[in-house]
Every structure is written in structure tokens, then in C-alpha cells.
Chains A and B, each alone.
Chain A
Amino acid sequence: MTLDRATRLMGRYLLLLFIACIFVFPIIFMIMSSFKPDLQLLQDTSSVRALLPVGDLSLDNYREAFDRAPIGLFIFNSVFITATTLLLSLFLASIAAFAFVFIDWRGKSVVLALVVATYILPFETVAVPLLLLVNNLPWLSAEGITWGWLNSYQVQIIPWIVRALEIFLFVQYFKDLPRDLVEAARVDGATWFQVYRRVVMPLSGPVIATVAILKFLEMYNNQFLWPIMVVQAEDYRPIMVGLQYFFQLNTAWGEIMAYLTIITVPVLIFYLVLQRAFIASIASTGVKG
């Protein structure tokens, strides 16, 4: 009986381990290959050496990748776009949710219904007309008013700031906060903005983390289609689109692996450190309906 249970537990662990290999091997392979010269990299693919840091290891691939493309600039662009969008999103989505949950104002139900309706509107369905729209929008710059947002940071930031999901997550969270706190602060003469800043937001750590992680993944990882459409100039290109420099290189796999490692490892470290928060944020997208 105990032996039988031990065998079953063993079998379970073997299965878990086997599946883990399927998920983790390609990632290990990517990182290991980035340190190997192309010839060795190709030879290693036929054995387990592909997953091991063996042979002639160097940073040459990294040096060559940096020579081929302005990677530093791309990293800066992506980080700047992601950070700006993230901060604006946290502020605007939370303050809107605050108004939806705690304040009674005329038109609230209509506005909320419209916001919720956009949840089923994937960005892809508006990308093409949006291209025409942003091509005709004004912008105030040092040279006065200019027209057209193509090739800029704002074209990659402003359309992405607010999504229905973020407002929705804040609304769900605020609804569970004790209303007495808000009412007590109002009786004490606090303005709505003070209630938002001093009472509600300090209690909202978990939902802020959730929205921040989802937004980070959306902006850093998934900005590809839109920048391809609106950014031709290298100066504003984000890191995922920068990968196009390596598309045609079917032979220089070492360089490609180095670039992939550069853009992925920071996210992986981030994930491994904040693992619980990442998983909780994905789980929270499922608590609807």
C-alpha cells in the first residue's frame, strides 16, 4: 500500500518534470546559444550540449548584435513607452473607477456601459482607421502646432493608456472596500480627490500591482503590430520591432539568440522575483462573469 503510493507519487513527479522540460528547454537553449559561435551552436543542436554552457563561450554574439542594431536606443524607447503608459494608465483608470464606484453623477451608467462595451473590441479591429486618425491629429511641439503623430513617442503611448479591463479591475476592487471609510472622510470635509488619494489608493496595493503587471506585459512584450504601422523612424522604434534587423539573418543564429536573450532575460528575472504577483494578476482576469 505505502509502496504503491510511493510509486504513484514518483510517477506524478516524473510527469511533472517531463512537462517542465517541454516549457523550459527552449528558453535554456536560447540563453546558452547566445554565448556560442554559430558553428558550434549548430553542431550542439544534435545533442544535449545544446542546453549546456560548454565549449567556446564568449560575448561575441552580443557585441555583434549591438553593432548591427542600435539596441540601447530600442531598449530606452521600450522602457520609456512602457513606463509612461503604465503610470498614466494607473492614474486615469483608478480615478475613473473611483468616480464610477463612489460618486453619483449624471450620465454615469451610460458612460460605464460604453466603457464595458469596448471590452469586446480587440485593438486589431480599430488599428487601420486609427492609423488614418493619428496621421491627422495635431501635436504641440517646440516648433508650434504640427500635424500627424506618425514617428513619435506619443503615437505609441496615448492610444494605449486606458483599456476597459483596467477600469473594470479597479471597479471590482473598489466595490469591496468598506464604504464607511469614504463616507467618514467626506463628513470630515475631504474633497473627492483627497478621498481618492488619501483613503482609497493607499488601500489598493494589490489591484495596482495587478494592473501594473498586465500593462507591463501588454506594453513591453506585445507592442508589435501598432509600431510597425506608425513608426518607420529608427529613433522611436521599440525593442520588439527592432528584431526586424535580424529577420533576414537565417545564418547568424548566435546573434539572434543574443538579441532575444537581451530582451527576454530582464522580464524573466522580473517574473521570477514577483512570481506570485504575476500569477495572481493573470488569475484576476478570470474572475469575471
Chain B
Amino acid sequence: MANSLTRQNRAGWLMAGPAFALIVVFLILPFFMAVAFSFTNQRLVSPNPTEFVGTRNYERLFGIATLTLEAERDETGAVVMRDGAPVYPRLRGFTRDQERYPQYFRKREWFSFERAGNRRTYVLASDVVFLKAVRNTVLFVLVVAPVQAGLALGLAMLINRRIAGINVFRAIYFMPVVISMVVVAMLWRFIYDGNDGILNNLLGAMSFGAMPPVDWLGNPWTALPAIMAMSIWQGVGFHMIIWLSGLQTIPASLYEAAEIEGASRWQTFRYVTWPGLRNTAILIMIIITMQAFTLYPQIAVMTQGGPLDSTQSVVFQMVERGYGKQDIAGGSTISVFLFLFVLSISLLQGWLTRQRP
């Protein structure tokens, strides 16, 4: 008996061991390394030994301070105006002076706003580009996740009918999913092109020339929305299929009952379809959110974070630092931040599923 048990132990470890070892070495271990490195000055290659630096890396990423300045006044006490706006003291006087203003040292202006009484509040950040990357990534997730999930559900309901040729349409809608995002991004660079792009030609033709051409990826206001639209185009078929398998678990008898009761289309959706999709909905939101947080190839191929940092993303910044500058510690700090983001989403999922009565 004991002999057979040892043999079972050995067989189990022999068979599961290789896969487990790979997961430990290439996922679990690097994860803990990321946490550890984020408190050091580790570099990829360095002549100097690695040192513990406390939370310095985190301060460099997230350091924020606000500074409210009074407008400058001349001898008579009147506010000095230039081009119709009050003049404020130069920020350099604060951000370069470590002695007197250590809290502002080496920070840069992120944004500022006018206050009552000729005062202006400046929000200064240690790493403005990173904070913009966080903002863009969150914006990307907040737009792409619901829009893509919604469109995917619409498509799934549209093709969840037994009419002739429906499989052909399903196959076509799914087609972009099997194309690499790298290829898609390169192709859409041409579609979005400011001069010869198809999108401009199409919009121009539809508006009979009234719509002026737009350099979609070269304009800070349109670059991120353009990337969002393209990402949705590529990914919507994936989530359509997952919705579809959710839809097909809803028993047909429920729909028949709704029809006998004389339910409207909206009522059928609201009281039959949607309750049956609850778990699918949560799963889809998680998958899209995770995919959207790791926004990278689109940026690397299309914009390199520009114009004016309007398409910087967290992963793009992580690569810039960890690989570009070989600053393993800085890149690891961003990794830890990214992980905490993803983890909180997963915890939210756990909480949402527990809510079920």
C-alpha cells in the first residue's frame, strides 16, 4: 500500500513536474523578481552592485505635488497681464531648488487650472509621460471594453439565427481575429493615412468633398480614438463567439414561453436573454479588460506613443524603460503596477460572481 502510494507520488511529480517547473521559472519567479527589483536600482548590465533604494522607483513614477501661485503684480499692486492673461512666476524657481522646495524638485508641469483671485494651481508630476500613459490606458479600457463587448453581443444575436448562409457571415466576422495585431496595425496605418488614406477618401466621397482630410494618427485628438476603433475591429469577432456560446446555453423553451406570453423584443432580451448571459458577461468584461490593459503592438507599430504622448500606454512605457533604457528596476516597478491593476479587476470579478443569489 505504502509502496503504491510512493509510486503514485513519483508518477504524479514526474508527469506534472516539467510543466510546473516551467511555470515556476518563467512566470512565478519573474513575478517575485519584479516585486523585489522595484525596490532596487537593478539594471540589465551594471558594473556596480545592486542596491536597495526603498520606494524611490515608485516616487519617480507616481510623485505628484500641487503648487498654487499668485499672479505677479507690479509696483502699483495691479496684476501683470500679458496677451490678456495674468503672468505667473516661473515654475523653474520651484522645481530646480532642492534646498527650499524638496517636494517640487525635478517635477514637471502636468496640467494647471485657473483659480479665483488671480491664482493658478499647477499639478506637478515626477513622470508626466508615465501618468499620461496611465490615463490613456485607463481611457482605452473604459471605452474599448464596453463598446467592444456591446458590439460583440449585437453581432452574436444577429448571427444566432438559423437562416441560410449564416455560417458564412460568422466566418467573415471572425476573420480579423486570426490576423496578427501587428499586421492589422500596419494595414490600418494606410487606411488612416492623412494624405492617401482610404478613410479620408471614403469620408470625402460620402460628404461630397465637404469633409476635409484628417491625419488620424498624427493628431493628438484623433490618434487614440483611431487606435481604439481599429482594436475593436480586430477583436470584436473573438468576443462575438464567446457571447454566442453563452446564448446557445439559453433553453429554447424560455423563448417559446416568452412568445406565448406576448413579450416584446426588448422584454425578451431583458428578462430571458440577459439573465442567461450573466456569467458570460462577467467573463467577457474580464478578458477584454485584461487584453486592453496590455495595449502594446498597436502603439509600437502605429504611433510610438505620439503625437504629444497622446497614445503612450503603460506597457509601451514599461518596454521603453526595461528594455530601451535597460532600467530593469524602473520597468519592474511598472510591471508591479500593471499587475495590481489586473489583480483588482480579477478581484472585482470574484466579487461580482459572488453577488449572485
Contacts and interface: CB of A to CB of B under 8 A. Distances in A.
Contacts of A122: 290, 293-294, 338-339, 342
A184 interface: no
A196 B12 CA distance: 12
Q: Which of A19, A22, A135, A158 has the most CB of B within 10 A?
A: A19
Given A50-B198, A263-B180, A268-B175, A125 B245 contact: no
Nearest to A119: B346
Interface residues of B, number: 98
B323 A229 contact: yes
A286 B283 contact: yes
Contacts of A228: 300, 319, 323
Given A103-B15, A228-B319, A285-B242, A221 B283 contact: no
A105 B13 CA distance: 7
Contact of B346 (A15, A111, A120, A229): A120
Contacts, number: 277
A11 B81 CA distance: 63
Contacts of B343: 120
A133 B30 contact: yes
A247 B161 CA distance: 43
B27 A121 contact: yes
A93 B19 CA distance: 6
B293 A46 contact: no
Interface residues of A, number: 92
Given A107-B12, A129-B30, 4 more contacts: A20-B169, A23-B233, A133-B29, A217-B178
15 contacts: A23-B176, A30-B187, A95-B15, A95-B19, A98-B15, A103-B11, A105-B12, A114-B28, A126-B26, A132-B44, A222-B181, A257-B187, A264-B180, A286-B283, A289-B282
Interface of A: 9, 12, 15-16, 19-20, 22-24, 26-27, 29-30, 42, 45-46, 50, 92-93, 95-96, 98-100, 103-108, 111, 114-115, 118, 120-133, 135, 158-159, 161-164, 167, 192-193, 196, 217, 220-222, 224-225, 228-229, 240, 243, 246-247, 253, 256-257, 260, 263-264, 267-268, 270-272, 275, 278-279, 282-283, 285-289
Interface of B: 8-13, 15-16, 18-20, 22-31, 33-34, 37, 42, 44-45, 155, 158-159, 161, 163, 166, 169-183, 186-188, 190-191, 196-198, 201, 204-205, 233, 237-238, 241-242, 244-246, 279-280, 282-284, 287, 290, 293-294, 296-297, 300-301, 315, 318-319, 321-323, 328, 331-332, 334-336, 338-339, 342-343, 346, 353
